[in-house]
């Protein structure tokens, strides 16, 4: 295939010279020349047929000169090679041509042997550039394919997560019904039905996705009043909104509007938008659905929320299939990455458009516009029958009885955003633990720091802060670093497990989990805590810790010990003063000390005083009363009794025994 060269020169003689002197190359099929008399004509030729390999152009021409042409050609095709052929061989023109992107500069009168060498060199460079461009294009395509593959992998991982969560409830409640049908039959069957419905909805979304890709999804319109349909649909989400303390309202500028719409597609569009809004909103937020008509005979539906908003970098991709945001507010929230994509696909299928407006921290507005038509047949059923079934309200976690017997049980904090999972876990753990619940990682961190539970079970994928962040935060805080944490999640891949363990998780269980395995893990972790208490009961002979976790707890105990030693002879230095000295609350300190040592705070203060008394008895000549006063005891007799009770020997006998040794 010959190299195509466009020659631009206003001298007719130059065209003849080119064809004559380069005739051999033309005859051998190496070159194919086209000619233009000025820059303007050259642009017209190039616009009609841009497949030229290079351009030879004069500078001084009528209508459009060669330098202007060069500039315009570079705008159209930056890879096109342009050689200036001109009698103006002065340096300013050469510099200007090169600055504009000329590949080379040949002066007239022309040595055609040199010109042909320049042409060959230019064409070789052009081929290299083309190959480079092809390589870049191929690399970009490979990158896009790799990204798509990653998106699909993430999609199937998330679908797995979405299936594992309801499966946990279904399998778990089936077991609970089998063990105690009288107690769990009604409530368990309700939870099973609801989670089965959730799984079927996921299956429908996947099937819809497949139909869209194959072009088999059809519109089935009816002519009916859409306003009550939309009102009923929004009201069906009211119980869910109330459980999350979110205000949900419906506003319509009209009482009725008879038009063509596909009930199933409309259900999926509005349900996805409402479900998304409620998922990302926090307590006290508001979601409004507004319905109106526009001037161009379109139905406009807005779903407006006061949630966290969408980061600017995420907005262009929010409707992309399989896309899930990397922002913390969005990426920690479970989902498949196809909900908003289906909203856009269904809206297009109905000849409508969907748009989104959002600023981070200021909520989001999704707007669906659909054409108002009245061409379909009226349905046989009444419009009220078209309203969707009301969404089942997720089970509320069971309230704890607060019996005195439960106060002796270990305290356990559940951190989970799915109330059905919480309900099932509580059914497994009641009677064994004092149970409390936090609905996301942020609330879980605050609750754990405030109450310092004996053990924590946390999901990983949650809004606001996920389980990894919770684990990392609590393990880095001296008030909570000792608390065993089990990460319980549907993310069952090895990478997620390693990520959790690296952040300090003590155990990792994948959903659906076995109840007995969970109970065994909890018992093992509490047994490990008992060993930890045994270590700190023997503080005199405590070995140096070689584990990072133990080193952290040793530092905490040392901090308490140093604070007490700094006020050793002050009898009034007690719990209140110790809390102030180390900067923690009375409850936090008590629970932390109890978990580490099995002692109360006052008992630990007394223990450190008695340890100091031991040292004084062995190393000083102070009488027993002075030892008692130096260790913060006002009454020497009380000192003697507590010493004997703690160490099993009277202070006098201890000193005598140590002096004999």
613 lies in the same domain as 651 = yes
Rank 118-132, 306-320, 489-503 by mean pLDDT and report only the highest. 306-320
Across 317-338, average pLDDT: 59
Q: Does residue 121 lie in a domain region?
A: no
Among 56-70, 195-209, 319-333, the minimum mean pLDDT is found in 319-333
Looking at residue 328, the DSSP 8-state letter turns out to be H
CATH code for the domain in which residue 199 is found: 1.10.287.130
Q: Does residue 399 lie in a domain region?
A: no
What CA–CA distance (Å, rounded) separates 237 from 381?
24
Is residue 326 pLDDT above 60, yes or no? no
Is residue 36 pLDDT above 80, yes or no? yes
Check: CB of residue 310 under 8 Å from CB of residue 303: no
555 lies in the same domain as 526 = no
Tokens of 193: 């039905």
Tell me, what's the pLDDT at 649? 92
Is residue 126 pLDDT above 80, yes or no? no
Across 299-328, average pLDDT: 79
Q: How confident is the model at residue 643 (pLDDT cuts 50, 70, 90)?
A: very high
Is residue 400 pLDDT above 60, yes or no? no
- Please identify, among 479, 497, 532, the residue that sits at the C-terminal boundary of a domain: 532
Q: How confident is the model at residue 563 (pLDDT cuts 50, 70, 90)?
A: very high
224 lies in the same domain as 208 = no
First to last CA, the chain: 107
Tell me, what's the pLDDT at 5? 87
What percent of the chain clears pLDDT 70, i.e. is strictly above it?
84
Name the residue among 345, 313, 347 with its Cα closest to residue 330.
Answer: 313
Among 50-64, 113-127, 298-312, the minimum mean pLDDT is found in 113-127
514 lies in the same domain as 561 = no
Tell me, what's the pLDDT at 310? 86
pLDDT digits (tens, 9 = 90+) for 266-291: 988 998 899 888 888 888 899 999 99
Tell me, what's the pLDDT at 208? 73
Longest dimension (CA), the chain: 127
362 lies in the same domain as 225 = yes
Tell me, what's the pLDDT at 240? 79
Check: CB of residue 631 under 8 Å from CB of residue 571: no
Provide the β-strand partners of residue 368. Answer: 301, 354
Tell me, what's the pLDDT at 298? 93
**To the nearest whole number, what is the mean pLDDT of the chain?**
82
Q: Strand, helix or coil at 299?
A: strand
Across 54-72, average pLDDT: 88
366 lies in the same domain as 235 = yes
Rank 147-151, 435-439, 592-596 by mean pLDDT and report only the highest. 435-439
Across 237-256, average pLDDT: 87
CATH code for the domain in which residue 547 is found: 1.10.10.60
Q: Considering only residues 3 and 248, tell me which one the structure prediction assigns the higher pLDDT.
A: 248
Across 13-36, average pLDDT: 85
CATH code for the domain in which residue 315 is found: 3.30.565.10
104 lies in the same domain as 185 = no
- Please identify, among 192, 212, 232, the residue that sits at the C-terminal boundary of a domain: 212
Tell me, what's the pLDDT at 384? 46
Is residue 88 pLDDT above 70, yes or no? no
Q: Strand, helix or coil at 117?
A: helix
What CA–CA distance (Å, rounded) separates 123 from 164?
60
Q: Does residue 252 lie in a domain region?
A: yes
Tell me, what's the pLDDT at 365? 94
Among 23-32, 112-121, 533-542, the minimum mean pLDDT is found in 533-542
Q: Does residue 590 lie in a domain region?
A: yes
- In terms of phi and psi (left: phi > 0; alpha: psi -120 to 50; beta: otherwise), the region of 323 is beta
- In terms of phi and psi (left: phi > 0; alpha: psi -120 to 50; beta: otherwise), the region of 309 is left
Q: Does residue 604 lie in a domain region?
A: yes
Tell me, what's the pLDDT at 330? 45
Tell me, what's the pLDDT at 331? 46
Tell me, what's the pLDDT at 372? 94
Q: Considering its fold, how many domains does the chain have in total?
A: 5
CB-count exposure of residue 155 (10 Å: 0-12, 13-18, 19+): buried
Q: Does residue 326 lie in a domain region?
A: yes
Q: Strand, helix or coil at 105?
A: strand
73 lies in the same domain as 187 = no
Q: Does residue 557 lie in a domain region?
A: yes
Tell me, what's the pLDDT at 258? 92
Q: Does residue 126 lie in a domain region?
A: no
Tell me, what's the pLDDT at 242? 84
CATH code for the domain in which residue 465 is found: 3.40.50.2300
- Please identify, among 481, 512, 532, the residue that sits at the C-terminal boundary of a domain: 532
583 lies in the same domain as 648 = yes
Across 113-136, average pLDDT: 70
Q: Considering only residues 72 and 378, tell me which one the structure prediction assigns the higher pLDDT.
A: 72
pLDDT digits (tens, 9 = 90+) for 337-391: 577 888 888 899 899 999 999 888 889 999 999 999 988 776 655 544 444 444 4
Place of tokens 């997560």: 161
68 lies in the same domain as 25 = yes
Question: Residue 621 is inside which H or E element, if any?
Answer: none
Among 106-115, 216-225, 481-490, 597-606, the minimum mean pLDDT is found in 106-115
Name the residue among 588, 479, 603 with its Cα closest to residue 536.
Answer: 603
Tokens of 175: 């077991």
Q: Considering only residues 109 and 301, tell me which one the structure prediction assigns the higher pLDDT.
A: 301
212: which residues sit within 8 A by CB, 6+ positions away? 342, 345
pTM (2 decimals)?
A: 0.59
Is residue 213 pLDDT above 70, yes or no? no
Residues of the domain holding 51: 3-110
Q: Considering only residues 408 and 220, tell me which one the structure prediction assigns the higher pLDDT.
A: 220
208 lies in the same domain as 238 = no
pLDDT digits (tens, 9 = 90+) for 128-175: 545 655 666 777 787 777 766 765 665 565 566 667 778 888 888 888
Q: Considering only residues 604 and 190, tell me which one the structure prediction assigns the higher pLDDT.
A: 604
What CA–CA distance (Å, rounded) separates 204 from 214?
15
Kindly tell me the sign of the dihedral angle through the C-alpha atoms of 467, 197, 384, 300: positive
Tell me, what's the pLDDT at 367? 95
258 lies in the same domain as 347 = yes
Q: Considering only residues 260 and 511, tell me which one the structure prediction assigns the higher pLDDT.
A: 260
């Amino acid at each position: 295939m010959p190299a195509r060269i466009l020659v631009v020169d206003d001298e007719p003689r130059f065209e003849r010279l080119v064809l004559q002197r380069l005739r051999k190359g033309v005859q051998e099929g190496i070159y194919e020349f086209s000619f233009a008399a000025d820059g303007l004509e050259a642009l017209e030729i190039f616009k009609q047929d841009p497949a030229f390999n290079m351009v030879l152009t004069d500078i001084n021409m009528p209508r459009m000169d060669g330098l202007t042409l060069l500039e315009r050609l570079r705008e159209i095709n930056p890879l096109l090679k342009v050689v200036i052929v001109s009698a103006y061989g002065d340096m300013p023109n050469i510099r200007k041509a090169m600055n504009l992107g000329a590949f080379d500069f040949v002066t007239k009168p022309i040595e055609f042997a040199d010109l042909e060498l320049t042409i060959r060199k230019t064409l070789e460079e052009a081929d290299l550039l083309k190959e480079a461009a092809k390589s870049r294009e191929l690399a970009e395509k490979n990158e896009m394919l790799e990204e798509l593959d990653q998106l699909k992998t993430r999609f199937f991982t998330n679908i797995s997560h979405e299936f594992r969560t309801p499966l946990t409830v279904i399998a778990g409640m089936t077991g609970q019904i089998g063990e105690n049908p009288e107690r769990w039959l009604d409530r368990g069957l309700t939870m099973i039905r609801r989670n089965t419905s959730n799984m079927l909805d996921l299956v429908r979304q996947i099937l819809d996705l497949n139909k869209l890709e194959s072009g088999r999804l059809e519109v089935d319109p009816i002519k009916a009043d859409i306003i009550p349909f939309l009102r009923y649909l929004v009201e069906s989400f009211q119980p869910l909104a109330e459980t999350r303390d979110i205000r949900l309202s419906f506003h319509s500028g009209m009482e009725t509007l008879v038009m063509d719409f596909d009930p199933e597609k409309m259900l999926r569009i509005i349900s996805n938008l409402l479900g998304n809004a409620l998922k990302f909103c926090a307590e006290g937020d508001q979601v409004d659905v507004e319905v109106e008509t526009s001037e161009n005979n379109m139905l406009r539906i807005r779903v407006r929320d006061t949630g966290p908003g969408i980061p600017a970098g995420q907005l262009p991709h929010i409707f992309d299939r399989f896309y899930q945001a990397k922002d913390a507010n969005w990426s920690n929230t479970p989902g498949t990455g196809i909900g908003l994509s289906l909203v856009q696909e269904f809206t297009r299928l109905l000849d409508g458009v969907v748009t989104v407006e959002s600023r981070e921290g200021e909520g989001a507005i999704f707007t669906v516009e659909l054409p108002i038509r009245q061409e379909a047949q009226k349905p046989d059923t009444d419009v009220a029958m078209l309203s969707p079934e009301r969404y089942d309200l997720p089970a509320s976690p069971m309230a704890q009885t607060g019996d005195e017997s439960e106060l002796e049980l270990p305290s356990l904090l559940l951190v989970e955003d799915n109330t059905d999972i919480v309900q099932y876990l509580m059914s497994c753990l009641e009677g064994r633990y004092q149970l409390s619940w936090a609905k996301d990682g942020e609330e879980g961190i605050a609750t754990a720091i405030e109450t310092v539970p004996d053990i924590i079970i946390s999901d990983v994928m949650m809004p606001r802060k996920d389980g990894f962040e919770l684990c990392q935060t609590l393990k880095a805080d001296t008030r909570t670093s000792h608390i065993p944490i089990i990460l319980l999640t549907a993310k069952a891949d090895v990478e997620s497990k390693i990520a959790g363990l690296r952040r300090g998780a003590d155990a990792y269980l994948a959903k659906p989990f076995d109840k007995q395995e969970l109970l065994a893990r909890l018992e093992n972790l509490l047994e490990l805590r008992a060993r930890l208490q045994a270590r700190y009961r023997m503080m005199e002979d405590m070995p140096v810790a070689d584990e990072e976790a133990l080193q952290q707890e040793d530092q905490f105990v040392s901090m308490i010990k140093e604070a007490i030693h700094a006020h050793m002879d002050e009898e009034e230095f007690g719990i209140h003063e110790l809390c102030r000295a180390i900067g923690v609350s009375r409850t936090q300190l008590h629970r932390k000390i109890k978990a580490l040592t099995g002692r109360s705070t006052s008992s630990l203060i007394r223990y450190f005083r008695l340890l100091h008394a031991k040292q004084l008895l062995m190393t000083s000549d102070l009488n027993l009363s002075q030892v008692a006063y130096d260790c913060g005891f006002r009454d020497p007799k009380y000192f003697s009794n507590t010493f004997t009770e703690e160490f099993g020997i009277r202070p006098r006998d201890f000193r005598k025994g140590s002096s004999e040794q």
